[in-house]
Amino acid sequence: MAEIICVGTELVLGQILNTNAQWLSRRLSELGIDVYYHTAVGDNVNRFKEIVTNSLNRSDLIITTGGLGPTQDDLTKETVAEVLQLRLVLNPEILKNIKCFFSRIDKKMSHNNEKQAYIPEGAQVLPNDMGTAPGIIVEKGQKTIIMLPGPPHEMKNMFKKHVIPYLKQRFAEGLIKSKVLNFIGIGESDLELKVKDFLQLKNPTVAPLAKKGEVSLRITAKGKTLKEVEEAIDKVEKGILSIVGKYHYGYDDEPIESVVGKQLIANNITFAVAESCTGGLICNKFTDVPGISKVFKEGIVAYSNEAKTKLLNVPQELLVNYGAVSSQVATAMAVGVRELAQTHIGLGVTGIAGPYGGSKTKPVGLVYIGLSAGNTIQCKKIQLHGSRKDIKERAAKYAINVIREYIKNSKN
């Protein structure tokens, strides 16, 4: 059983995001090491001492990040040494390496950097190729504490090069692997209800994760070999997709715009986008996809009625008779931008992002997504909730999903 302690007042105050804990948990899971606790603590000796003491009572492996620098508030190794009743001794090799580091970057070493060369007696030193703070491994009885630097690039490099080999030899038992299935167009409660039998499994386990405008299912399996783990995950994945496959768009951390963008590029399908309520967010998401310029020809933010008429040739009578937020205007925007850009697909989005402007017949969160492609003209009506920013984000994702659904249906 392992736990992670991240040290730094900036973490507790929320000044920086604690990405180290997330990254380390994933790497430990891949090694088959279960992480039971995460803790963040400020640069306070008494509080850190209390946490280390408690951690030693409940965990076999403790990994800390941060607090190994040269300043007075960097007290990780000093506190750990005090709790374990170990002396700090000067390591001449580390001191030499620190001096060489400053020489390489053509800077004078401050006297307080010598502090980083003092190591708990009997500890194993982990070289730092990217900074001055060495990592430290202390073993006492059946307990192990691994102290890593706080900067993520230093921590990750050290963990990959030096900690993983150590952990494989000392702790790893079996293998844990996860696969995340991403869904859009179905709510979290509906998804859970449809796959409830899979949520009761013990190995692999299936856990739902809700995000803005989409839902994910994480499948995690534990076994002795990679083949055993992957076969277990594949079996559960196939079972889930047989029930809710039509809502499934991709895997792991890949966003929907990347998945759809790759499909458009692979099939050489050109497209253009006309946005109103999303204010360019759809275009922004697509331009994050490498190579999208091959197929993404044009994007227009037609926010006012005048712009819709002038730029997209939306007939004035549609705006008067049906209003800017209507299926008629959404499809007219899609047709207009497609004809203007001469693309295979035109997408038009209009809605009410709020918090004002809604009515009984057209409440805040009402969005219409029009699509024009060949002889196909279609429109999707959705009712969203949340803040103005939430509605824009969800509307953008749903709009991109309309393209995905069109590509999928056109192949069938």
Report how far residue 14's alpha carbon sits from residue 20's, in angstroms, rounded to the nearest whole number: 14
Confidence at residue 40, expressed as pLDDT on a 0 to 100 scale: 96
Q: How confident is the model at residue 279 (pLDDT cuts 50, 70, 90)?
A: very high
> At residue 174, what are phi and psi to the nearest 5 degrees?
80, -165
Q: Same fold for the domain at 176-251 and the one at 256-411? A: no
Residue 108 has pLDDT above 90, yes or no: no
Confidence at residue 173, expressed as pLDDT on a 0 to 100 scale: 65
Residue 174 has pLDDT above 80, yes or no: no
- CB-CB neighbours of 407 under 10 Å: 17
Alpha-carbon Rg for the chain in angstroms = 27
378 by Cβ neighbours in 10 Å (0-12 / 13-18 / 19+) ranks as: middle
Residue 321 has which token pair?
A: 């008779």
Report how far residue 61's alpha carbon sits from residue 146's, in angstroms, rounded to the nearest whole number: 8
Q: Taking a C-beta distance cutoff of 8 angstroms, is the pair 263, 210 a contact?
A: no
> Which residue, among 17, 81, 5, has the nearest Cα to 43 in the 3D structure?
5
CATH number attached to the domain at 2-170: 3.40.980.10
Reduced to 3 states (helix: H, G, I; strand: E, B; else coil), residue 142 is coil
34-43, 97-106, 229-238, 365-374: range with lowest mean pLDDT: 97-106
302 by Cβ neighbours in 10 Å (0-12 / 13-18 / 19+) ranks as: buried
Q: How confident is the model at residue 10 (pLDDT cuts 50, 70, 90)?
A: very high
Report how far residue 161's alpha carbon sits from residue 127's, in angstroms, rounded to the nearest whole number: 9
| Bridge partners of residue 218, in order along the sequence | 180, 207
Helix, strand, coil percentages in the chain from 3-state DSSP, rounded to 5: 45, 25, 30
Q: Taking a C-beta distance cutoff of 8 angstroms, is the pair 135, 69 a contact?
A: no
Q: What pTM did the predictor assign?
A: 0.75
Q: How confident is the model at residue 172 (pLDDT cuts 50, 70, 90)?
A: low
Domain boundary assignment for the chain: 2-170, 176-251, 256-411
Confidence at residue 369, expressed as pLDDT on a 0 to 100 scale: 98
Q: What is the overall mean pLDDT for the chain?
A: 94
User: Which option is the CATH number for 256-411: 3.90.950.20, 2.70.50.60, 3.40.50.740, 3.40.50.720?
Assistant: 3.90.950.20
Half-sphere exposure of 34 (CA within 13 A, CB side): 10
Residue 263 has pLDDT above 80, yes or no: yes
Residue 112 has pLDDT above 80, yes or no: no
What mean pLDDT is predicted for residues 174-179? 83
What mean pLDDT is predicted for residues 245-261? 96
Q: What digits encode the pLDDT tens for the residues 116-149? A: 889 999 999 999 988 888 999 999 999 999 999 9
Half-sphere exposure of 2 (CA within 13 A, CB side): 25
The pLDDT > 70 percentage for the chain reads: 100
Residue 11 has pLDDT above 80, yes or no: yes
What mean pLDDT is predicted for residues 63-84? 92
User: Which option is the CATH number for 176-251: 3.30.70.2860, 3.40.50.300, 3.40.640.10, 3.60.10.10?
Assistant: 3.30.70.2860
- CB-CB neighbours of 270 under 10 Å: 17
Q: Taking a C-beta distance cutoff of 8 angstroms, is the pair 333, 314 a contact?
A: yes
Q: What digits encode the pLDDT tens for the residues 310-365? A: 999 999 999 999 999 999 999 999 999 999 999 999 999 999 999 999 999 999 99
